[in-house]
Each structure stands twice: as C-alpha cells, then as structure tokens.
Structure 1
Amino acid sequence: MKLPEPPTEESFPSPLHHPRVATVIGRWLAVAVTICFLTGLFSHFEQQTPNWLTIPARPASLYRVTQGLHVLTGIVSVPLLLAKLWTVYPKLFAKLPWPPSRKAVAMIFERASIAVLVAAMALELFIGFLNTLQWYPWPFPFKETHYALAWIIIGALLVHLAVKLPLITAHWRRTPADRTPEAESVPPAITGMSRRKLFRTVAGAATLVGITSVGQSVPVFGPIAVLAPRKPNIGPQGLPVNRTAEAAGVTPVADSWQFTIKGPKQLSFSLDELRALPQSKSTLPIACVEGWSQGARWEGIRIKDLLELCNAPKGSSVRVLSMERGGFYATTELPPQFATDPLTLLALKLNGDYLALDHGYPARIIAPNRPGVLQTKWVHRLEIVT
C-alpha cells in the first residue's frame, strides 16, 4: 500500500493563509504586545525601581490604568496569537532548498526565531493568566521569569520583523487584488469563510474576551466580567482581598500594641493615640498586579505629618515594616516623592469604618500610583531612611 505524500505548503490553497491576512492580524497582535510590554515594564520598575529612575506619585490612578491595560492586552493577545498562527502554519511545510544555499540558511534562521517567539509568547501568556488567579504550580519565581520572557519576546519579534519586512511592506496596504470577489468571497468548498468574515471573527473574539475580563478594573463591566478572577465591590468593606490575614500569619493585635517610628526623634503610639492624631482623607484605588483595581475612601494620618513629628530630614525615604510573617513584601520602602505626597496615609479607616483585619487592621499604607503589593498592610513600624 502506497503511503500518502507528506503535505507541502501548496496543500493549503485557502486564501485565508495569504500574507495579507497574516499582515493584518499581525498588526493587531503587535499593538497588543507593545502595549502589554510597555505597561509591564512600568509595573516592574514600580516594584523594583532602578537608581536612575524616579517613579512619580501622580497621576494618582496611573498604575490602575497601566496595569489594567497590561492584563487586558495580555488576555486579548491569546485569540490574536492563535489566529496569527493559524494563518501562517502552512509555512511549516515549505521545503528547504537543496542543496543548501543562502536562502536555506535564512529560512532556518527565520524558523528558529519564530520557534523562540511562539514558545516564549505561549509561556508568557500562560503564566501571566495563572498569575491573575494567584496560582503558581511551578518552581521558578514568577516575577523574574515573566520579566525575562518579555525581553526574549521583544528580541525574537524584532528579528522576525526584520526578516519579514519586505513581505509585510508589500501587503501592509490593501491592494486592488485584495478587493476582487475571489479575495473577498472564497467558495465554501475551500474555506466557507471570506477574509472579511475572518477578520470580523478574530476581532469579535478578542473583543469578547476583553469585555468579559476588563470588569475587574472597570466597574461598569463588572456584571459581565465572567473571565475576571476579581469582581468590583466584592470583599470585606466593599474591597477585594488578595492576601488574607490568615494567609499572612497575622492575628488581631492586643491592647498593648504599639506603633513605632524610628528616626531622629523616636516615637511610639498606642492605637488610641494614633486615632487621636489629626486625620486626613484620601480617595485612592487599590490596583494589584493581577489586573484588578477598586477605588475606596481612606482615612488616617498623613505620612508627611509623621515625618515632621519625628524631625525627619527633607528628602527622607520611609521603610515600612508589617506584622506579616514572611512574604516578599513584609518590608517595603516609600521613596520621598510618595512619603511627602499629601494623599499618602497611614490609613486606619476604609470606607468609613475601621480597617477589617484582612485589609490591614490596625494600620496600613495607602499611597497614590502604587501597586497593591506595596500598599503594605498590618503596619507596626516606620523607619526613616536618609
């Protein structure tokens, strides 16, 4: 019995595999990946700020917007990547020229770069999605791996664009040939779908996953956020919680609890004494790296007022220590621009009531334009860093 011939690129005659189709979907994917990369870079620098960079405290909701966009574009990239791979997969069956030539070497280099790009993107999107669920079934650190993969993706993408630039340029704009009935309406026997219908299907799928997940940061879409792991207004005091007091090993404080400030002037306060200090109010969001955010009303003592009470030098940073046992963010630091911002509080109240234990009782940090992991809960000590 004669075995069937292996498939070749010519075995896939559908015009939906045309370079024009791949170029259009590739443009959409490139926009999503670029926004995702830039906003992810901002998030990384928020958490690990290099010495040469100063993160501003304002706009107060900047991180809420950028991280919401980061997770949204990451989710939207999934259907776009699948559609892009479907349009170009017949290229896998293109035969390499023989004997080897410069063209063959270029094709091998191109395929290697595509393999790296696709593998890195698939892994990046997979672990990024599981991060939104706070599930980490792997032995490697998420944040460092996610950051490294982002640079690998950008490098492989630039190589791919350089190799494919002549083809992309040739099909960037719609040509008269793309307006012919043959291009717009393909016989059902071949595909059953026109190019226009394919574009609408891909755009619709990307839009659908977007609007059913963006509700975790845009409250108006909250009721239909079926793909979002967090819903607005759901949680203690109307605010979601990532890490509970039980998970952090924190129990209710005793009456003897003391809040201390280590600085030029050492200060110590009981909870009643903290509540007796002049109180300020801030309306600020909690914006978490998992993509969800929720605005809230906070009340407490301005950090800048505490700095003045302990005679802290101008331009001081503040080290914040939590009662949390372990964890990567049990100790954080407020740079000067955040410590002196009038919106930055040692918060004692949330939405009109004293903090729930899961929200950081008896005291927590709330500051503008900061990731949720740096809005330290269960604070018991501040140290002035000059």
Structure 2
Amino acid sequence: MARLHEGEPVFVPGSGGITHPLERVPDYGELVEIAPNVFWSRIPMPGKLDHINIWLLRDDDGVSVIDTGMYTAEAESAWTSLIRQIPGHSVIDRVFVTHMHPDHVGMAGWLADLQPAQFWMTRMEYMTCRILEAQSHDDKVPEDFTSFHRSAGWPAAAIRSYSGHYGNFGKRVFPLPRAYHRLEHGQSHEIGGHNWRVVVGSGHSPEHACFYCEELKLLISGDQVLPRISSNVSVTPMEPLANPMADWLASLRWLKEEIPNDVLVLPAHQECFVGLHERIDALIAEQERSFAVLRKSLRESSKRVVDLFGLLFSRPIAEDDPLIFSLATGEAQACLNYLWETSEVTCSVDSQGVCWYRAA
C-alpha cells in the first residue's frame, strides 16, 4: 500500500481550466491512500478506456467500496490482490454502486458473495440493471429494438452484428444480490469518522449517485463529471423518446450550485482533479457547440442519425464495432430528441422505417 502525495497542480489544456494536483495514479490492484481512510485503486476493463477508478473507505468495523469494475477474469484477479492489501485485513461490509453500467456494477455481486456485505444502489439504477440482466437472456432481439436501429439508418450488416452481441450485458455483470439497500438523494453515511452525502443526478444513467464529503472536500463523481472526456448520454431502444440530454445538462447545472468548486473530484475514469465548476462550464459549452453544429447541418439538408456521427464525434465510428456504434447512435439520438423537445427539428419517416430529421 502506498500514500499518494500532492504534487504541483498541473493545468490540463482543453479541460476547462482544471488542475490535477496528485502526482501519480495507482496501478491495477494497487491500494493508495489519498485522504485519511480514503483509498484509490484501479480495476482493468476491456476497451480503449482500459480502467475504472474505485474507492475504498475504511471504518472501524470494515471497509466500504464505491464502484467495482466490470465482471472479467482480470477484474477478479485485481480484486483478489486488493483484498489482501486492505489495512488491518478488514472485511468489506458495504458495497456502494454509483450506477448500473457494467464497469461500475459488474463485480458488485461477486464481492457481496465473497464477503457478505450490504449492497447499496439507487432504486432506478438497481431496477434498470435487473431488467437489462433479464433481457440479456432473451432468445432473440426484440423487434422494437431492431426497429429503433433501422430508424436510425443502421445498415443490415450492423443490425446482424448487434444481434450477436445483444446478450453481452448479462455476461459483464455478476448476478446482483436479490435484495438491496436504497441510496437516495440527501442521504448521509458515516464512514471512517466522516459524513458522506449522497448527491443524485441523471442523464448518463437514470439515477446516478455521487458521494460528497464536505469535511474532506472530496466528491466521488462516478461518470457524472469526468476530467478529459464527456460522459456518454444516450437514448436506448428501451426508451426511444427519452430526453436524457436535458436531464444531464440540468444535473450539471444543479451540481455546480450544490458542490463547492474547491473539492477534489474523484472520477470513475482518468485522473482526480480540482476545478469542478470550470469543468462543468466546459462540458455545457461543448454540448452547446454540438447543438449549434447540428442546427446548421439540419438547416442545409435532412439527415438520419447515422449521418450525424462525423459532426458529433472526433473519430470514425465503425459499424463493425457494435458497442461503439450503439453508443454513437444513442448519443446522436439524444441530441436530436433534445432539439425535438425544443421544437427545433422535425422528423419524417420513409417507406423503410428510417427517420429523417430537418431543422424546423
């Protein structure tokens, strides 16, 4: 176990004026103390974003864990190493999960099985996760889901590829405990002699929990605010007319009002940072720029969801990568649904069931 010392603040270009005051990050399976009784580690995960940050809060009677990693053999190995390093060989007595995405909840059931612990999650995140787990065992892709992708302009090959990956959610999440304890906005938890307040937002996921400790000036932000990338905000086939972008922007503005700027933000990915308000302002400004680009393009001609990828994303979106293609589709649709609700776009459906959007 190591202690993470503070270094000189490092300015991060393009990140809204935030700084990274900590001099290094932990390796996979390494336990690092960043504040009294607050430990940081990383769990490996597949893909370009190859890690998730997880947090262990030590108490007199045990250790509380916040987020867990995706259910993989590599994550299991990292957790086995971490458990051996827990100070005083304390047991894990509480598992908190910020939200239901597999890289956050995937190992929660495994940990609760290994060391029987209370399992905490917001109600919407827990219920949505259970639904997605159940759907992953369907015999085939629901026709509503196929229609959703067809309406976005997916080619037949992408739809076939998605069919082969439809059940992947269940493979990435160890079965959840059948009972849970409900996290709610404003709820407080006494851990390690400090009070941690639950702060709930939405947009990236239905009822995302962050954890704020005023005394230590720490905010565990999950995926609600990240230092160098934007949280994916997606419409899914399960709720095709949702407006998660409006929810996310409202949550960011509310978070800026609720949490001081001088907290050390402990995000789910990348590095810890200071400058919460600057980062929120940068995220909102970036999204507003995307809306402006879309408005201009949709004034020029009608477009499908897939036609917007080049405008919204800085890298090519390949249809042979079902996960990335789905995320890009969901986020582009989220932007369109936002503009639809503000009556800025219209939609027409052609004979093939494909939606074409144009500025109103």
User: The TM-score by the shorter chain falls in which range?
Assistant: under 0.3
Tell me which protein shows more helix as a share of its residues: 1
Normalised by the length of structure 1, the TM-score is 0.26
TM-score (norm 2): 0.27
Q: Which has the larger radius of gyration?
A: 1
Bigger relative contact order, structure 1 or 2, given CA contacts below 8 A and separation 6+? 1
